[in-house]
Amino acid sequence: MTDAIPQLAAYDDATLDRAFATLATEVTKSVTSEDPEAFRLHWLGRKQGRLKLVSDAWLKSAPAEARKPLGIRFNQLKQQIEAALEAPAANRQVYIQNRIDISLPGTVRSPGIPHPLLTTMDRVVEVFHHLGYSTSLGPQVESDFYNFEALNFPPNHPARDTQDTLQIAGQQSKASRDRLLMRTHTSPVQIRSMLAGPPPLRLVIPGKVHRNDAADATHSPIFHQVEGLCVDTNITFSDLKGTLDHAMRALFGSAVKTRFFPSFFPFTEPSADVQISCIFCGGKGCRKCKHSGWIELLGCGMVDPAVFEAVTAERRRLGLDPTPYDPARISGFAFGMGVERIAMILHGVSDIGHFYSGDLRFLEQFA
Ligand SMILES: [Zn+2]
């Protein structure tokens, strides 16, 4: 099966590549799993081995500058032949055909890490799990009823202007309560949860929300919230304060203080904004807290009786027992916070866009 040694017409790279490719194919074809010794002698035999013959024919007449490229290709061919000899007999043909160099180390794949936003969201959720809260989830495409109406944002009410909403197209023929939109907050899951079962409820609701906001250093049209809802008999504002005070210390350290300011949300009454003492300066005042010593972090309040009334009316409409959410019998509180904002504070990130860029130089810092 020994062919004549092909003659080299020239010593340029293309000619050499062609000539050695022919030889490599010949090696592949001549591999036999039955008789490796014959294969070895055929190619590597000291006097009449084919590699020796080729070397004699090509190397000796080669000009000086062609010696190096020729030598490199000879070595590669020799390695291919040796790899074929070392491979287990049954696999020899496969190794050769696939040109796998089994002496190379394997490909190392890095296992990846959870995204810093997910880690932050999990961290917040875990704090509330320890307080006996369970997790509830809901759809990102919501109806107007769950996202607004049941949460005390009546149709055409100016409170809706505070959440620039992405509407789903082609909904004009539907009743206003059934029109679909991208949820602007995680609060619709409060309504879904209250329709799903009676109190007591202690829920934490993480998720993605959408608003038609222009992207800048602190805004993104898609962001993440964690919302909380507690409904039971005799829930008071001091329960809300105690819960959030504990949660903030669990998240940011036991030295952190909280303070509450009057605010407005349609679905809570009274409502409050919560600030924590600056975790960078301990409250003395620095650039991060704009020299106030405090950082604004979340919104909260007692569930507005109008929300319980909407839930009661909807339960009646759906044929469910309307009594469990009678606002005369129960009370509750709700709170919500932005995951991006917390992650930015925890990690000292100045531009929200880093979280979505997919830039490994940024993400690898959280590995
Ligand atoms: Zn500060």
CA 271 remoteness from chain centre? 33
Distance 64 CA to ligand 1 centre (A): 72
Note the pTM of the prediction, 2 decimals.
Answer: 0.69
**pLDDT over 90 (residue 169):** yes
Distance 277 CA to ligand 1 centre (A): 8
Distance 248 CA to ligand 1 centre (A): 16
Question: Using CA atoms, how far apart are residues 27 and 73, in angstroms rounded to an integer?
Answer: 14
Q: Over the chain, what is the mean pLDDT?
A: 90
Structure tokens at 202: 């202690």
Distance 295 CA to ligand 1 centre (A): 8
Distance 113 CA to ligand 1 centre (A): 30
Distance 259 CA to ligand 1 centre (A): 15
DSSP state letters, 39-81: HHHHHH-TTT-HHHHHHHHHHTTS-GGGHHHHHHHHHHHHHHH
- pLDDT level of residue 245 (50, 70, 90 thresholds): very high
- The mean pLDDT of 320-330, rounded to a whole number, is 95
Distance 249 CA to ligand 1 centre (A): 16
Distance 226 CA to ligand 1 centre (A): 24
CA 353 remoteness from chain centre? 14
Distance 258 CA to ligand 1 centre (A): 14
Distance 294 CA to ligand 1 centre (A): 7
Distance 270 CA to ligand 1 centre (A): 28
- pLDDT level of residue 232 (50, 70, 90 thresholds): very high
**pLDDT over 90 (residue 35):** no
Q: 270 preceded by cis ω (within 30°)?
A: yes
Distance 291 CA to ligand 1 centre (A): 6
Distance 135 CA to ligand 1 centre (A): 33
pLDDT tens per residue, range 294-315: 999 999 999 999 999 999 999 9
Distance 78 CA to ligand 1 centre (A): 68
Q: Which of 100-109, 278-287, 329-338 has the highest mean pLDDT?
A: 329-338
**What's the pLDDT at 91?**
63
pLDDT tens per residue, range 179-190: 999 999 999 999
Percentage of the chain exceeding pLDDT 70: 95
Distance 45 CA to ligand 1 centre (A): 79
Distance 275 CA to ligand 1 centre (A): 12
pLDDT tens per residue, range 45-72: 888 888 888 888 888 778 888 888 888 8
- pLDDT level of residue 1 (50, 70, 90 thresholds): very low
DSSP state letters, 189-246: HHHHHHHHSPSPEEEEEEEEEE--PPP-SS--SEEEEEEEEEEETT--HHHHHHHHHH
Question: Using CA atoms, how far apart are residues 345 and 360, in angstroms rounded to an integer?
Answer: 20
